[in-house]
């Protein structure tokens, strides 16, 4: 009986550990530090070992306070890279390549007017 319980818990823990979760959060502001609402924040793939590059993973529109959160669930590895993009009409777009790190990042993105 003990062996069966131990095997059960080993399988459950292995299943829980199969996926990593990367959540990227932050705030988008203008060049004066004022939060920007209505900014399209997008997370895309970057060279995932021969998988499609620039595949959309998640996207969100910022609220009036400029805050956003995008996320992906993936196999645990430190090799994954993503492209974090922020776009708003009449502003220069922003793009940054980031690595998966299984935790929340707190990004402050500054968009400048065109």
- Give a yes or no: residue 4 inside a domain: no
- Give a yes or no: residue 69 inside a domain: yes
pLDDT digits (tens, 9 = 90+) for 9-35: 344 334 344 455 677 889 999 999 999
For residue 104, what are the domain limits? Answer: 21-111
Q: State the number of CA atoms in the 13 A half-sphere of 57 facing the CB.
A: 28
Average pLDDT over residues 86-105: 82
- Give a yes or no: residue 83 inside a domain: yes
- Give a yes or no: residue 34 inside a domain: yes
- Give a yes or no: residue 16 inside a domain: no
For residue 30, the model assigns a pLDDT of 97
- Give a yes or no: residue 6 inside a domain: no
- Give a yes or no: residue 97 inside a domain: yes
Please indicate whether residue 12 or residue 89 has the higher confidence score (pLDDT).
89
What's the total number of domains in the chain? Answer: 1
Please indicate whether residue 103 or residue 47 has the higher confidence score (pLDDT).
47
pLDDT digits (tens, 9 = 90+) for 41-86: 998 877 655 455 677 778 999 999 999 988 777 655 556 778 899 9
- Give a yes or no: residue 107 inside a domain: yes
**Could you tell me the CA-to-CA distances from 108 to 10, 55, 75, 96 in Å, in that order?**
40, 23, 27, 12
CATH number for the domain spanning 67: value is 2.60.40.1120
How far apart CA 42 and CA 44 sit, in angstroms, is 6
Kindly indicate the confidence band of residue 2, based on its pLDDT and cuts at 50, 70 and 90: very low
């Amino acid at each position: 009986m003990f062996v069966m319980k131990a095997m059960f818990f080993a399988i459950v823990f292995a299943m829980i550990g199969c996926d990593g979760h990367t959540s990227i959060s932050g705030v988008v502001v203008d060049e004066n530090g004022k939060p920007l609402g209505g900014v399209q924040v997008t997370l895309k793939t970057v060279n995932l070992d021969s998988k499609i590059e620039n595949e959309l993973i998640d996207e969100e529109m910022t609220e009036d306070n400029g805050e956003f959160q995008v996320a992906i669930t993936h196999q645990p590895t430190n090799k994954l890279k993503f492209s974090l993009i922020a776009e708003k009409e009449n502003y220069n777009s922003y793009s940054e390549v980031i690595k998966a790190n299984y935790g929340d990042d707190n990004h402050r993105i500054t968009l400048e007017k065109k």
